[in-house]
A and B are shown apart, each in its own frame.
Chain A
């Protein structure tokens, strides 16, 4: 594997294990993913850079979720590789530690809201006092302080998603992946999630989020990555994408036509 020419990639590789060692920029390089011979992700190359909020758009089945899972290391590419600051990751299995992910349907452990956050912090090896500080701060920032002692699974859908965000935020990840975090929420809960995502971004975390809600994409995106049939068709600043999409697939998607 020869080193890419782009000077951005000459940054020294990040060290494994050290929490604070920076992992950005990240890069998916010619990543493909197949299940039973069916190519679901087809040669995606994508740079993940600090500072911007990246929204991944595309119709159902475009491969948005798979792309996030590949980048996060939950599944292993069939071919191609994922790099974090020039270090090739082992993919599925290796604990993705300086990144976090919020799923469409968050999985809450059968314990209190506070204990759910505490669990994640304990997995990352934080000492008790630091866990408590981060946990209380995360609960406060997501408006869940009053629900701290409540069993997480008795929270409403919107509260559970906020708790999932609090759990991820408490880890202060360098990259936060969000897979359709508002897909099953009502408008007010959606708005709260968007505010929290914006606040997490403002605190210095790189955001990579999928959505099929164009209004939400316009509200949150600094840049848009457009996928279609497992291929990356466009990556452009949000304003450019929404005003002058280059591919005819993106034009059709933005005008609400069905894409197959």
Chain B
């Protein structure tokens, strides 16, 4: 029990004096996960809206697949990306394995189905309200995609937060494709896993606290921005 309180004390100490290792790890974590959410949004938002609005063969199958991939185990995604990027793999020549880029790729692939599946639902709901009006005004489905994404912007912020939560919390994929190399690919979750198994509880706890605080801070910021702009645009 004494060990435990001591560990907490040290953890707060690391945070309070902006320990350089801790800051570096937090910075890389944010860079990897925010980049992944950014690229996943570029793909997932239009994809989800398109699945909601276009009528094509296999549309329902695609919707089911997107929803299923929301729950894809990160270690499996990590393994797939590892095989693709490994020296002998099809993309091995790029030399990306064990780099932050590889981690961004893996997390992008993890987050994209989440954003696409949730966006599909949001846009489909909005279309039941907007459909006749937009068709009456002469909007084609292709033209309705940006319109609905813009009008769903407040709901989509929540969707993106769900994606960020997934990316920042997962260990499996970044561990496999990043390798948890100190000063190169070590992020909060992999560091917590490693330091805990090594017995360095203060760093693990410190990182755990930062991870939770960051998640709360980002959600709070999004909530405040959403509230302020929603009031203006109703």
Residue on B with the closest CB to A92?
B135
Q: In chain B between 142 and 196, which residues have their CB closer than 8 angstroms to a CB of chain A? A: 143, 147, 150-151, 153
Q: Which of B136, B147, B232 contacts A101 (CB 8 A)?
A: B136
Residue on B with the closest CB to A97?
B138
Judge whether B233 is part of the interface by a CB distance below 8 angstroms. yes
Contact A74 B136 (CB under 8 A): yes
Known: A151-B233, A151-B234. 19 other contacts (CB 8 A): A69-B132, A74-B132, A74-B135, A92-B135, A95-B138, A95-B140, A96-B136, A97-B138, A100-B137, A106-B133, A110-B150, A110-B234, A111-B150, A111-B233, A119-B137, A151-B232, A152-B234, A153-B233, A167-B137
Judge whether A79 is part of the interface by a CB distance below 8 angstroms. no
User: In the complex, how many residues of chain A place their beta carbon closer than 8 angstroms to a beta carbon of chain B?
Assistant: 24
Contact B233 A107 (CB under 8 A): no
Contact A72 B136 (CB under 8 A): yes
Judge whether A39 is part of the interface by a CB distance below 8 angstroms. no
Alpha-carbon separation in the docked complex, A186 to B143 (Å): 35
Give the Cβ gap from A151 to chain B, nearest Cβ, in Å: 5
Judge whether B139 is part of the interface by a CB distance below 8 angstroms. yes
Judge whether B129 is part of the interface by a CB distance below 8 angstroms. yes
Residue from the set B135, B138, B232 with the largest chain A CB neighbour count within 10 Å: B138
Contact with B along A122-133 (1 / 0, CB 8 A): 011000000000
List residues of chain B with CB within 8 A of the CB of A120.
137-138
Alpha-carbon separation in the docked complex, A106 to B134 (Å): 11
Contact with B along A77-119 (1 / 0, CB 8 A): 0000000000000001001110011010011011100000001
7 pairs, A vs B, C-beta closer than 8 Å:
A74-B135, A96-B135, A107-B133, A111-B233, A123-B137, A123-B138, A154-B234
